[in-house]
């Protein structure tokens, strides 16, 4: 038997070696278009006859070759190699001439990544005039000046990637033959300087990636790149942007120079040249993670900018990211030269105030001022910000809500004021977006909120979690007729009665989880009778009295998990006619009287993880549901695989006695009622027989027949 197994393994191994390009790895995409995967070499491939050498079809053959040596072509089918249009190879060739390329004159795309190439000799791409893209990324190349020499310039060449190598220098003549190049990726290398202007002839270049290098100066290296639109220089060592380099930078659509060492920012860097852009073009200027301290006025550049803008009638949209700097002051006209500033990120700076010309911010939709040291806002800075939709003021030093400053912002959708020091709110003079707005005030010191009528118009969601609310009565929101969601989780509320929730009946989702609620009185939720979701998890509720949920006829989801409820009578849920999900997880429940659920109109899914219900109770509940006698379906979020369980639901196995006194009492009561019914039936039957015998005797029936 052992010898047979060895022979089979040898046969399998030999088959694997001989099958360089398995048939199940040859996929036809469309007519004369194939995707093939091979190992070690490329051979034994058969294509449709009409696709071999035919001029009537655009033949596309995409081959992926793994575990290949750079001389794999010596074993390959030479004729087939000449037909390959896209080649992806993975091997281990520290020094190579890439000799296989001589047999592939139809190559359009070549990907030679993750192959440990340290040195490529001569110019292996010399004769490949049909090339469109070359990817040599993720190798260990340090010298590249001789690689891209061609006998005839490859005018179809569009993309070249040399990312993730060890390149330190880029000589001036490196890319002189690649004049048609549109995208060049030199990111994640060791380049320090660009003094030889290696890009001077790449006039068609649109995207240039030089991020994650050690570049100190730009030295005007991009000045001839008149069509460049996207320049990525993040994570270098650049300290200053010289005036020569600005000739190119001012017509970029994406300028990412984040994570450098820039300290002084010239305002001209914000102005854009728009002659070759379409109306509505979006410009992204990313200056985050530098060492900028001050933003100077841009008034000197404004006149020239304004004249050209009016002349061309081009509407530009600018997104500016200045986050994670050390900005402590912004001069009043710092954003004067920016066309249609739509997004401004000033988060994680050292701002003590934000006093700027509101005219420069009138198109801003997104403003991030989080993680600063602001303690107030200036009305003048926001008075013309009629387009503001998202404002982040979190992680500042505000001890009052700045509603007067925001009274002219009519389109707010999201307002984040978390992690401040606001303790009370008595006015909220803000008009939110007509589609609704969200106000997040979590993680303050709030204990009291009163919003008068006709204020906070359009507010649909209010988040008050992680504050100091101990009395829900002090959250006075009854006039907020648009409010649909209220989150008061993670506070210190201990008790709820019928006057506690001063809320509008428009609320459909109320979160009171993670409080200290122990007592809930009858009709506590009568003001919010449109609720569909109520969360009361992670409190200290031990019992639920009749009438607690009175009036909640629309409720669909109720979460009572992580409380201390041991006994539960289903009659307390009788008003919840539409309840579909009830979570009772992690309570330590010993018994649930489910009689009131037997006539529930809709399926009610009850989650029972981590409780102490008996297996007898659970078996009966599941049986009733499965047989259609009950709409209550016991289940769990996480099925148990250990201990006693039924259908993955944990239960407590009773041995010889009933441990729960109330359950025992109810069983005894049921037995008594049943016995009484049987006795009554026997009595009725005896009485009927006596009457029948007496009647028969009176009418002269034969006594023996009656017997």
Band (pLDDT 50/70/90 cuts) for residue 668 is very low
Band (pLDDT 50/70/90 cuts) for residue 314 is low
CA-to-CA distance for 220 and 546, rounded, in angstroms? 79
- Encoded tokens for 662: 């109330």
If DSSP codes are grouped into helix, strand and coil, which group holds residue 219? coil
Whether the per-residue pLDDT at 362 is higher than 50: the answer is: yes
DSSP state of 628: T
The answer to whether 370 and 393 have CB atoms below 8 angstroms apart is: yes
CA-to-CA distance for 461 and 509, rounded, in angstroms? 9
Of the listed ranges 238-242, 360-364, 441-445, the least confidently predicted one is: 238-242
Angstrom distances, CA of residue 574 to CA of 53, 549, 654, 690 = 79, 9, 30, 46
pLDDT per position as a tens digit, 563-593: 999 999 989 998 898 999 999 999 999 988 8
Residue 567 CB-half CA count within 13 A: 5
CB neighbour class for 642 (10 Å; exposed up to 12, middle 13-18, buried from 19): exposed
Whether the per-residue pLDDT at 261 is higher than 80: the answer is: yes
Whether the per-residue pLDDT at 662 is higher than 60: the answer is: no
In sequence order, the β-bridge partners of residue 646 are 649
CA-to-CA distance for 95 and 184, rounded, in angstroms? 24
pLDDT per position as a tens digit, 380-435: 999 999 999 999 999 999 999 998 899 888 899 999 999 999 999 999 999 999 99
Backbone angles phi, psi at 245, to 5 degrees: -70, -25
DSSP 246-311: HHHHTT-SEEE--SS------GGGG----TTS-TT-EEEEE--SS---EE---GGGHHHHHHHHHH
**pLDDT value at residue 301:** 59
Whether the per-residue pLDDT at 149 is higher than 50: the answer is: yes
CA-to-CA distance for 94 and 79, rounded, in angstroms? 28
**pLDDT value at residue 10:** 39
CA-to-CA distance for 147 and 196, rounded, in angstroms? 18
Angstrom distances, CA of residue 11 to CA of 5, 7, 15, 582 = 10, 6, 6, 60
* % of the chain at pLDDT higher than 70: 86
**Cα of 333 vs its chain's centroid, Å:** 36
CB neighbour class for 207 (10 Å; exposed up to 12, middle 13-18, buried from 19): middle
Whether the per-residue pLDDT at 506 is higher than 70: the answer is: yes
Backbone angles phi, psi at 341, to 5 degrees: -65, 115
Whether the per-residue pLDDT at 173 is higher than 60: the answer is: yes
Instruction: Compute the average pLDDT of residues 97-117.
Output: 94
Of the listed ranges 30-34, 420-424, 666-670, the least confidently predicted one is: 666-670
Band (pLDDT 50/70/90 cuts) for residue 241 is confident
Alpha helix (H) residue ranges in 294-377: 302-312
Whether the per-residue pLDDT at 707 is higher than 50: the answer is: no
- Encoded tokens for 347: 């988060």
**pLDDT value at residue 18:** 53
CB neighbour class for 404 (10 Å; exposed up to 12, middle 13-18, buried from 19): middle
**pLDDT value at residue 53:** 58
DSSP state of 472: G
**Cα of 417 vs its chain's centroid, Å:** 22
Angstrom distances, CA of residue 627 to CA of 91, 509, 577, 598, 622 = 63, 34, 21, 12, 8
Place of tokens 């460049």: 228
Of the listed ranges 16-25, 163-172, 378-387, 527-536, the least confidently predicted one is: 16-25
Band (pLDDT 50/70/90 cuts) for residue 226 is confident
pLDDT per position as a tens digit, 451-500: 999 999 999 999 999 999 999 999 999 999 999 999 999 999 999 999 99
- Encoded tokens for 250: 């001012």
The answer to whether 536 and 512 have CB atoms below 8 angstroms apart is: yes
**Bigger pLDDT: 312 vs 194:** 194
- Encoded tokens for 26: 């040859």
Whether the per-residue pLDDT at 311 is higher than 70: the answer is: no
Looking only at Cα atoms, what is the longest distance across the chain? 137
**Bigger pLDDT: 658 vs 559:** 559
**pLDDT value at residue 700:** 52
DSSP 365-428: -EEE--SS------HHHHTT-TT--EEE--SS--SS--TTTTTT---BSEEE--SS---EE---
- Encoded tokens for 535: 């969360």
**pLDDT value at residue 681:** 63
**pLDDT value at residue 238:** 94
**pLDDT value at residue 656:** 47
Neighbours of 697 (CB within 10 A): 12
Instruction: Compute the average pLDDT of residues 595-615.
Output: 88
Neighbours of 257 (CB within 10 A): 24
Nearest to 500 by CA among 525, 468, 536: 525
DSSP 445-460: ---EEE--TTSSBTEE
**pLDDT value at residue 16:** 42
Rg (CA), the chain: 39
**pLDDT value at residue 686:** 60
pLDDT per position as a tens digit, 673-702: 455 556 556 566 666 555 554 455 445 544
Nearest to 230 by CA among 182, 188, 193: 182
CA-to-CA distance for 408 and 31, rounded, in angstroms? 62
The answer to whether 499 and 525 have CB atoms below 8 angstroms apart is: no
**Bigger pLDDT: 37 vs 681:** 37
Of the listed ranges 55-64, 152-161, 512-521, the least confidently predicted one is: 55-64
Band (pLDDT 50/70/90 cuts) for residue 57 is low
What's the sign of the alpha-carbon dihedral 305, 311, 312, 318?
positive
pLDDT per position as a tens digit, 180-218: 999 999 999 999 998 888 998 999 999 999 999 999 988
Nearest to 90 by CA among 70, 110, 67: 67
**pLDDT value at residue 219:** 83
Angle 112-178-205 from CA coordinates, rounded to 5°: 100
If DSSP codes are grouped into helix, strand and coil, which group holds residue 224? coil
What average pLDDT does the structure give for the chain?
A: 86
CA-to-CA distance for 503 and 388, rounded, in angstroms? 28
**pLDDT value at residue 683:** 62
């Amino acid at each position: 038997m052992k010898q047979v197994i060895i022979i089979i393994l040898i046969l399998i191994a030999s088959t694997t070696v001989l099958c360089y390009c398995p048939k199940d790895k040859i996929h036809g995409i469309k007519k004369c278009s194939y995707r093939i995967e091979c190992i070690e070499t490329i051979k034994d491939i058969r294509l449709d006859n009409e696709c071999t050498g035919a001029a009537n079809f655009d033949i596309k053959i995409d081959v992926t070759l793994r575990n290949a040596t750079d001389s794999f072509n010596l074993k390959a089918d030479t004729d087939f190699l000449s037909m390959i249009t896209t080649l992806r190879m993975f091997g281990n060739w520290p020094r190579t001439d890439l000799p296989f390329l001589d047999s592939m004159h139809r190559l359009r795309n070549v990907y030679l990544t993750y192959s440990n190439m340290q040195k490529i000799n001569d110019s292996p791409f010399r004769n490949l005039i049909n090339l469109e893209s070359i990817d040599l990324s993720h190798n260990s190349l340090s010298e590249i000046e001789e690689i891209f020499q061609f006998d005839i310039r490859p005018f179809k060449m569009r993309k070249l990637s040399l990312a993730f190598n060890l390149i330190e220098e880029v000589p001036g003549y490196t890319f002189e033959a690649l004049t048609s190049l549109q995208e060049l990726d030199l990111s994640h290398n060791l380049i320090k300087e660009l003094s030889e202007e290696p890009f001077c002839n790449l006039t068609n270049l649109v995207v240039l990636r030089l991020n994650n290098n050690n570049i100190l100066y730009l030295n005007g290296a991009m000045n001839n790149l008149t069509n460049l639109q996207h320049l990525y220089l993040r994570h270098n060592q650049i300290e200053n942007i010289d005036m020569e380099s600005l000739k190119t930078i001012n017509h970029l659509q994406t300028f990412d120079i984040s994570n450098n060492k820039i300290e002084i920012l010239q305002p001209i860097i914000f102005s854009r040249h728009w002659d070759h852009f379409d109306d509505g073009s979006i410009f992204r200027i990313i200056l985050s993670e530098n060492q900028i301290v001050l933003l100077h006025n841009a008034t000197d550049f404004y006149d020239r900018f304004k004249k050209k803008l009016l002349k061309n009638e081009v509407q530009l949209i600018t997104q500016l990211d200045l986050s994670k700097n050390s900005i402590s002051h912004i001069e009043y006209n710092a954003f004067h030269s920016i066309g249609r500033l739509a997004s401004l990120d000033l988060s994680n700076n050292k701002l003590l105030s934000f006093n700027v010309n509101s005219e420069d911010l009138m198109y801003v939709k997104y403003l991030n001022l989080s993680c600063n040291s602001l303690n107030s806002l200036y009305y003048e800075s926001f008075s013309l910000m009629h387009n503001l939709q998202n404002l982040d003021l979190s992680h500042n030093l505000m001890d009052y809500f700045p509603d007067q400053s925001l009274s002219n912002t009519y389109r707010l959708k999201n307002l984040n004021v978390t992690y401040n020091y606001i303790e009370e709110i008595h006015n909220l003079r803000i008009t939110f977006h007509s589609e609704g707005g969200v106000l997040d005030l979590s993680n303050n010191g709030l204990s009291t909120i009163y919003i008068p009528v006709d204020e906070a118009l359009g507010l649909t969601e209010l988040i008050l979690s992680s504050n100091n609310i101990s009395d829900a009565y002090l959250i006075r929101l009854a006039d907020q007729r648009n409010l649909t969601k209220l989150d008061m989780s993670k506070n210190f509320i201990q008790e709820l009665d019928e006057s506690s929730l001063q809320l509008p009946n428009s609320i459909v989702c109320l979160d009171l989880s993670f409080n200290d609620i122990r007592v809930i009185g009858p009709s506590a939720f009568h003001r919010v009778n449109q609720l569909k979701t109520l969360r009361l998890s992670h409190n200290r509720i031990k019992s639920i009295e009749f009438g607690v949920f009175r009036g909640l006829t629309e409720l669909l989801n109720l979460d009572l998990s992580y409380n201390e409820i041991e006994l539960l009578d289903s009659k307390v849920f009788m008003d919840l006619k539409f309840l579909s999900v009830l979570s009772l997880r992690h309570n330590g429940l010993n018994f649930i009287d489910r009689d009131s659920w037997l006539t529930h109109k809709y399926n009610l899914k009850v989650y029972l993880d981590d409780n102490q219900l008996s297996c007898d109770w659970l078996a009966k509940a599941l049986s009733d549901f499965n047989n259609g006698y009950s709409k209550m379906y016991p289940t769990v979020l996480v099925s148990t695989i250990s201990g006693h369980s039924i259908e993955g639901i944990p239960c407590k196995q009773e041995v010889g006695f009933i441990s729960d006194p109330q359950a025992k009492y109810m069983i005894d009561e049921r037995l008594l009622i049943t016995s009484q019914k049987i006795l009554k039936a026997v009595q009725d039957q005896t009485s009927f027989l006596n009457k029948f015998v007496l009647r028969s005797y009176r009418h002269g029936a034969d006594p023996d027949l009656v017997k």
